[in-house]
């Protein structure tokens, strides 16, 4: 029997398909930058070339030299902020990927993210650290947030399992219920007073921070957009995610040990899906719910369990993000759902629902955000060009199977020629 070559393996073709999607997305973004540059006299071809360089390598951009040329090198603040922003994307990406593995499309990640945010902040800002150690309050806040997300995720799961209501419709409904419920909680409870009236936070009226600002120990990173009404949180009593020396390695950034927690959770989900009986049952239900039931697998229980686990993962993303103690919080969430929830969809698609792959795809999406920021800071372009790249990648991710088939045909064609 002829041994299958490395390039003929399904996993290899999946990775290649993702890389093709990324490459085409980057090319599409570069074309947009070129067109905008050529049609804008203030930019021209030189400005377009700078824009393309920043989209591709903005993570390494350090500013401009004395003569105005772009300078590149290791930028610890950009690397650290990339890892910090990747944390919620990893968690929501895992949430969507887990649902997809079980045959469920979890579009409810934004609502679950909000549920985890509200619950974790309530604990972190309400439990006095004079009575409970700060590290224990942090663990309580994270677990409470995850339980709130699991509860919220189980609602569309139960509707799907017992009433056969489409989970997409149920998730959309629960998203907006969560958005308005969280707004109501913060507006009507004493928690908003805690946020506004104590040293747990400071309200900024500026739209964009030009330089790093530190107010009573709260750092606002340059380039961060902070609309009026936003708040930079510094949870009281030292209830914040530990740095574990990462802040020294990536100076000037918001990075903390949340990235390590996210990676550990991703590995745990990978082991759950690939090495355990429960994981096999979840995937069996995703492949064919009724066949799984015929084989003795409790499909209804597994559907509810899948959505509960997915909700807990999304909620953990919100908890880890806001328990950092150095980022912005918006309580008027009824105006929009958190983008991190929806961005988990392209992260999962690009990773082909592989939990370990989610780590890399989320980091890539986070890198694009940093590149968009640098594009705005150092040129006349705006950061929304990177959204074009993400949109093209998402669109191509939906055709990942077609791209894999195309790569397979190319391999077979070359084999025939030989």
Q: Where are the domains of the chain?
A: 19-74+380-418, 82-351
pLDDT at 106: 93
Note the pTM of the prediction, 2 decimals: 0.84
pLDDT at 136: 92
Taking 3-state DSSP, the helix, strand and coil percentages for the chain, each rounded to the nearest 5, stand at 70, 5, 25
Question: Facing residues of 203 across strands?
Answer: 231
Smallest CA-to-CA distance from 375 within 69, 89, 48, 76 is with 48
Q: Exposed, middle or buried, 272 (CB in 10 Å: 0-12/13-18/19+)?
A: middle
Cβ-based neighbour number of residue 360 at 10 Å: 17
What is residue 242's three-state secondary structure?
A: coil
For residue 408, report the phi and psi dihedrals to the nearest 5 degrees. Answer: -60, -40
Name the helix (H) or strand (E) containing 261. Answer: helix 258-275
Question: Facing residues of 215 across strands?
Answer: 218
When pLDDT is averaged across residues 366-378 and rounded to a whole number, the result is: 87
State pLDDT tens for residues 160-200. Answer: 999 999 999 999 999 999 988 887 777 766 555 444 433 33
Eight-state DSSP code of residue 208: B
pLDDT at 71: 87
Please state, in angstroms and rounded to a whole number, the distance separating the CA atoms of residues 326 and 235. 8
Which runs of consecutive H residues, i.e. helices, occur in 102-133? 109-126
pLDDT at 263: 96
Of the two residues 3 and 32, the one the predictor is more confident about is: 32
Please tell me the least confidently modeled range out of 43-47, 80-84, 396-400: 396-400
């Amino acid at each position: 029997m002829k041994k299958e070559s490395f390039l003929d393996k399904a996993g290899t073709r999946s990775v290649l398909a993702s890389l093709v999607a990324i490459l085409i997305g980057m090319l599409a973004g570069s074309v947009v930058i070129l067109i905008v540059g050529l049609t804008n006299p203030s930019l021209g071809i030189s400005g377009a070339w700078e824009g393309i360089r920043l989209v591709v390598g903005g993570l390494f951009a350090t500013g401009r030299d004395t003569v105005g040329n772009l300078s590149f090198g290791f930028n610890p603040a950009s690397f650290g902020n990339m890892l910090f922003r990747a944390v919620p994307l990893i968690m929501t990406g895992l949430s969507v990927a887990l649902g997809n593995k079980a045959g469920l499309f979890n579009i409810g990640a934004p609502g679950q993210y909000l549920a985890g945010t509200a619950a974790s902040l309530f604990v972190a800002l309400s439990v006095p650290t004079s009575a409970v150690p700060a590290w224990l309050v942090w663990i309580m806040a994270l677990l409470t947030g995850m339980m709130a997300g699991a509860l919220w995720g189980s609602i569309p799961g139960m509707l799907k399992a017992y009433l056969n209501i489409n989970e997409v419709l149920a998730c959309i409904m629960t998203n907006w219920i969560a958005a308005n419920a969280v707004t109501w909680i913060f507006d009507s409870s004493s928690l908003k007073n805690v946020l506004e009236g104590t040293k747990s936070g400071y309200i900024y009226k500026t739209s964009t921070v030009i330089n790093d600002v530190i107010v009573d120990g709260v750092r606002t990173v340059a380039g961060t957009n902070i609309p009026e009404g936003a708040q930079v949180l510094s949870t009281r009593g030292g209830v914040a995610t530990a740095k574990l020396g990462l802040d020294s390695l990536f100076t000037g950034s918001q990075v903390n040990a949340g990235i390590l927690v996210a990676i550990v959770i991703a590995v745990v989900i990978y082991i759950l899906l690939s090495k355990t009986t429960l994981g096999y049952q979840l995937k069996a239900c995703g492949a064919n719910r009724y066949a799984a039931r015929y084989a003795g697998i409790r499909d209804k229980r597994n559907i509810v369990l899948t959505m509960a686990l997915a909700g807990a993962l999304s909620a953990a993303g919100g908890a880890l993000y806001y328990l950092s103690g150095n980022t912005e919080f918006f309580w008027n969430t009824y105006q929009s759902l958190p983008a991190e929830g929806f961005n988990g969809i392209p992260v999962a698609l690009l990773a082909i629902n592989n939990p370990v792959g989610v780590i890399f795809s989320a980091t890539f999406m986070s890198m694009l955000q940093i590149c968009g920021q640098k594009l705005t800071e150092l040129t006349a372009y705006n950061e929304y060009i990177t959204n074009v790249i993400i949109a093209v990648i998402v669109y191509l991710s939906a055709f990942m199977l077609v791209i894999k088939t195309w790569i397979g045909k190319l391999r077979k064609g070359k084999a025939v020629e030989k």
